[in-house]
Amino acid sequence: MPEEFDLDLRSTQEARSLVRRCDEAQKVFARFNQYQVDTVVAAMAEAGFRAAERLGQMAHEETKLGVPNHKTIKNQFASRDVWEYIKDIKTVGVIGRDDARRVVEIAWPFGVIAALVPVTNPTSTVLFKAISALKARNGIVFSPHPSAAKCTAEAARIMAEASVAAGAPPGLVGCLTQSSLAGTQEMMKQKAVHLILATGGESMVHFAYSLGKAAIGVGPGNVPVYVDRSADVAKAARDIVNGASFDWGVVCSHEGAVVVDAPVAAQMAQELERNGAFFLDDTQIALLGKAMLKPDGMMQADFVGRSPQQLAKLVGITVPDDARVLMARLAEVGPQAPLSREKLSPVVAFYSEDGWRRGCERCIEILNFGGLGHTMGLHCRNEDIIIEFGLEKPASRITVNTTTLGGAIGYTSGLPPSLVLGTGGMGGGITSDNITVRHLMNVKRLAYEIHGFDPPKAVAVAKPPAAAAPPKPETDMEALVRKVVEEVLSRKS
């Protein structure tokens, strides 16, 4: 207990120091011109790309999750691909003009960004967030997951050193080395922090939202994929297995469930098996579902990012050595079917539904059970059905004829390259976009007059004359006096 208390104190103090130093550096960096900013960020992207393989190996060795060379690909994507997409975006000074409406747009940074880093993607997240944050002239301080503290800190160090070598002020990129819940919360609460990038556990995302600061969070990605009878079934099976097996399922946009149109269900199962999917029997499904998921739906940590063989060993079953994905035939969605939840592992639920309308309903059911607003996939060659799915699904990204893993993050599709995927109002988020540099800067606007404003003068309205007050009712004494006077006057006459 005393050691934990000491860690909290050290972590809290480190958080305050890092944010203060970052704030001072950012005030200097905010005055850099576009060329200077781009020189700094280009150097960071190059350094991240060069270190991609080493960082991937470090992440695997420390966390024991996923596949080292798959992590290398993520690191390369987070550095090279992201930089290629954002390098020509203006983030300094005047960034846009609308001459017709006489509006001038001016970029303005948030300041210091507090960034949470998940254990599932500890190095690629750092590269992506650091490059995006500094492109918008922000500073950034990272809080690593305790199980990935070393590789996260190393990725942040590489970003920091590359930025300083290219002319940025020291302290612009920081990372907690004394990682604790107290330190992370203290970092987010600092007055100098004006934006929180909350990629992490659900409780921490909710805490970030509760602070009254600007915050961008993400939700769970229980991703369903519908395979229509018109699909290229062989390609669909290949994409699904490639996506679900990549880095052993730790990327939230990977395929979590397959909903197959009944006429091609048998063919689809054969193609999945040909690509390395292994179909579990009912007993194995029950054992795996009970072991890997808690009653509240959260995954047991030992099952996250493990190979099919490791998963099988954990529950005492046998699967082939060449199995890349475990498939579970299910008939229901909900707590009674644990494997219908999000699974950060190469385990995929398999459903068969007759017709695209039934398939559509099943996909919505899956999204509502744990992936609302995130991502879904569609393999189909009927454009009318594709549009119907786009109109009806409560998902911010609907990938078409590609793997959802790569399509959602912009690796195999034309979406903006990003490792932070907004879930929009459907999933409790502020945006449904793939988060990029544009979301990490403010845009001020000069608005010139285009229409004169000369309203008619107000005319005073005369008040109506006050109505005469109603006669005051007589009292009993007044009535008696009046009666007596009238009688006396009548006698005289």
**Residue 422 domain-assigned?**
no
**Per residue of the chain (493 residues), what is the pLDDT tens digit?**
456 668 889 999 999 999 999 999 999 999 999 999 999 999 999 999 999 999 999 999 999 999 999 999 999 999 999 999 999 999 999 999 999 999 999 999 999 999 999 999 999 999 999 999 999 999 999 999 999 999 999 999 999 999 999 999 999 999 999 888 999 999 999 999 999 998 866 777 778 888 889 999 887 889 999 999 999 999 999 999 999 999 999 999 999 999 999 999 999 999 999 999 999 999 999 999 999 998 888 899 999 999 999 999 999 999 999 999 999 999 999 999 999 999 999 999 999 999 999 999 999 999 999 889 999 999 999 999 999 999 989 999 999 999 999 999 999 999 999 999 999 988 888 899 999 999 999 999 999 999 999 988 888 776 776 666 666 666 666 676 677 667 766 665 5
Query: Are residues 390 and 317 part of one domain?
Result: yes
259: nearest Cα among 288, 226, 231 = 226
Q: Which residues are catalytic?
A: 252
Handedness of CA 117, 123, 124, 126 (dihedral sign): positive
**Residue 490 domain-assigned?**
no
Query: Are residues 207 and 344 part of one domain?
Result: no
Query: Are residues 190 and 136 part of one domain?
Result: yes
What's the CA gap between 203 and 213, in Å, rounded? Answer: 16
pTM of the model: 0.90
**From residue 485, how far is each of 481, 482, 493 by CA, in Å?**
6, 5, 13
**Residue 159 domain-assigned?**
yes
What's the CA gap between 144 and 178, in Å, rounded? Answer: 9
- Find the domain containing 94 and state its range: 2-218+437-445
Which residues are bridge partners to 375 per DSSP? 397
Query: Are residues 156 and 266 part of one domain?
Result: no
Strand order in the sheet with 139-143: 173-175, 139-143, 112-116, 193-198, 214-217
Query: Are residues 258 and 357 part of one domain?
Result: yes
Query: Are residues 196 and 328 part of one domain?
Result: no
Q: How many CB atoms lie within 10 A of CB 446?
A: 11
**445, 465, 482 - which closes a domain:** 445
- CATH number of the domain enclosing 230: 3.40.309.10
196: nearest Cα among 153, 142, 157 = 142
SS (H, E, C) 264-329: HHHHHHHHHHHCCEEECCHHHHHHHHHHHECCCCCECHHHCCCCHHHHHHHHCCCCCCCCCEEEEE
Query: Are residues 295 and 271 part of one domain?
Result: yes
In eight-state DSSP terms, residue 401 is S
**Residue 483 domain-assigned?**
no
Query: Are residues 170 and 304 part of one domain?
Result: no
**Residue 292 domain-assigned?**
yes
142: nearest Cα among 183, 192, 202 = 183
**Residue indicated by tokens 């006057």:** 489
Query: Are residues 258 and 214 part of one domain?
Result: no
**Residue 479 domain-assigned?**
no
205: nearest Cα among 215, 191, 192, 194 = 215
**Residue 463 domain-assigned?**
no
Which residues are bridge partners to 255 per DSSP? 223
Number of domains in the chain: 2
**Residue 421 domain-assigned?**
no
Query: Are residues 163 and 124 part of one domain?
Result: yes
Q: For residue 271, what are its two tokens?
A: 């193609």
Pairing of strands 94-98, 103-109: antiparallel
- CATH number of the domain enclosing 71: 3.40.605.10
Query: Are residues 101 and 62 part of one domain?
Result: yes
Query: Are residues 307 and 160 part of one domain?
Result: no
**From residue 389, how far is each of 227, 357, 358, 392 by CA, in Å?**
12, 9, 12, 5
